[in-house]
Structure 1
């Protein structure tokens, strides 16, 4: 799996490929349908399969002060695209110069000249170019002119509604990670490097691995049953506080998983934390004894829930 800059000329062995085109943040059921169609067509025609995404997200270019909303990092997307059968991920860097490209310039400079595409697959609602001047219809017109095909995939629905990144965000903000997982086909996962904290957890028998939330969407603050995955493949069950730790001063936003029956040093290691179930909102406790008693209950409940939710 190669990661390529969308402004550069594509390597010869990837020219003429079928490109799935979209943002694909989350890689949910709808995204999987688009990328799956591109991969299937590429295999049928003996062509490379590529996925093109945008980074940073266009919203951040036009609204740099927007609240964090990402569902996946580029690294996560790369692994998900590879798992779906793509040969390469193309990253279009969304900056002022890119935003200024007209729909025609985007097609001619990026799709025709740089990627030398053989075909494009995207969603029916995809727009592109300055002021969103390009649609699937115009993409088909440009394709006929420049020698590539363009195919649009209809939205995927679940429970009578289209699957979308917005719908996933709404579920997570509402404290419904199971609902989000149905749309994603996997648990929502926050990935980061374990950092040193104030080590308060170990003084009360609950050592934690502290992760910064970065650019990820902020799900409902509270206590979660979680599953951690290490780069070496180990899977760790636990319970985590996601929020500002109201029982401690000063407030500090963190994701703090405690892993059951685990001893070891995780500092500096990359860790992926899957939110499996929402247990309760954050709460402030008057005494450490009251806090520990609640944590005992939370961990017991998390163990039961995780036992019924086997890792993929």
Structure 2
């Protein structure tokens, strides 16, 4: 497994997004998920990404059980800041200092560890200034409970303000062939030496050709996602078809093309790029890891680069679903 760094934190060049093992993508299986976590570590995928809100804590417990006896082999990234205690319709993006500290303690308990390698603010706070939130996160670093700090879905202006309080190692944002909003922030990231951690690099499975919108589980949030449904879903099929055509020409899988495109942007953006494709199955994890060896030629890049201009529909039916 290739290695890289996120603001000084040494990690595997590809991570594993664990969210779907607990919530959002229909039914999951504990034992299968644990087996996949073990397999990820075996093949060198050591950056494991979770959050306190995934399954309302279930996912952190799952990851914690999956790394028993192998804590020194992994880098744990988790997130805080989306408070769902009042129900999903009343969720709040919090960053008040007492909440920051309570959230960290709760995550450490669920994970069963004494420190978190990369601790993200999940969304910009609605009830605190970013300086106050990052100040509280800084205290966690000083206390040895957190090693590196990250932000998720943040603007360039907020990133600068946060970095002035304490160095930010990574920004986690949705980034793929059909979602490139974070490119507005990457110039600041390159300037400050901050890495990019793309989540949903496979377009939540759409770019991999693995999503049948007509048969999605009602509990799968994609069944209500604007990009997957109705006329927008039909129009977006041309994007998946193009990815599949490129994959067939190169003799690889569509998912590998989508991931290879993400990796190919690192030099252009001037930042380290560590995607965290999510999967619950070991065989798909192996397929994703193999994308590290896929090289896209100029013809493939020319076909793929403009696809984001074709996308129809918003990323979420409502703000902050993830």
Report the TM-score when normalising by structure 2.
0.29
User: Greater CA radius of gyration, 1 or 2?
Assistant: 1
Report the TM-score when normalising by structure 1.
0.30
> Quick check: which one's helix share is greater?
2
> Quick check: which one's strand share is greater?
1
Higher relative contact order (CA 8 A, sep 6+): 2
